Amino acid sequence: AQKITQTQPGMFVQEKEAVTLDCTYDTSDPSYGLFWYKQPSSGEMIFLIYQGSYDQQNATEGRYSLNFQKARKSANLVISASQLGDSAMYFCAMRANAGGTSYGKLTFGQGTILTVHP
């Protein structure tokens, strides 16, 4: 079974500061992908960043980076230079190989609400 845990229900950050959103995961599959999505108040789920379990380097996409610590099973999202538009719900998710079958479902964490203060 796969599990994603986000322990921070809410986070606050000052504009232009960096913030780290925590995510830990649990899977017995050696091959998996980790994702972060952003959900503004409008409701759409926006893909931010992806990290493969075999990737040697941490993923980066503009102001987003993923701090991947495989041994600790953590995949924290770091947002640098926060902007007011970053205020949203953030979800960590994982898709694993489901024991070798084709149907690896995307499993989501509970989400973290990020509020950026001016």
Partner 1 sequence: ETGVTQTPRHLVMGMTNKKSLKCEQHLGHNAMYWYKQSAKKPLELMFVYNFKEQTENNSVPSRFSPECPNSSHLFLHLHTLQPEDSALYLCASSQVEWTLYGYTFGSGTRLTVV
60 binds partner 1 (CB under 8 A): no
Residues in contact with 19: Cβ distance below 8 Å, sequence separation at least 6, in sequence order = 11, 13, 78, 79, 82, 114
Q: Rounded distance, CA 83 to CA 116, Å? A: 7
Q: Which is nearer to partner 1, 37 or 68 (CB)?
A: 37
Q: Rounded distance, CA 111 to CA 4, Å? A: 10
Q: Which is nearer to partner 1, 12 or 47 (CB)?
A: 47
CB of 90 to partner 1, least distance (A): 13
Query: Three-state SS for 106?
Result: strand
CB of 13 to partner 1, least distance (A): 21
37 binds partner 1 (CB under 8 A): yes
Q: Which of 19, 82, 91, 112 contacts partner 1 by CB under 8 A?
A: 91
The residue whose two tokens read 């973290």 is 112
| Total count of residues recorded for the chain | 118
# of chain residues touching partner 1 (CB under 8 A): 27
Residue numbers at the binding site for partner 1 (CB under 8 A):
31-33, 35, 37, 42-47, 50, 52, 91, 93, 95, 97, 101-106, 108-111
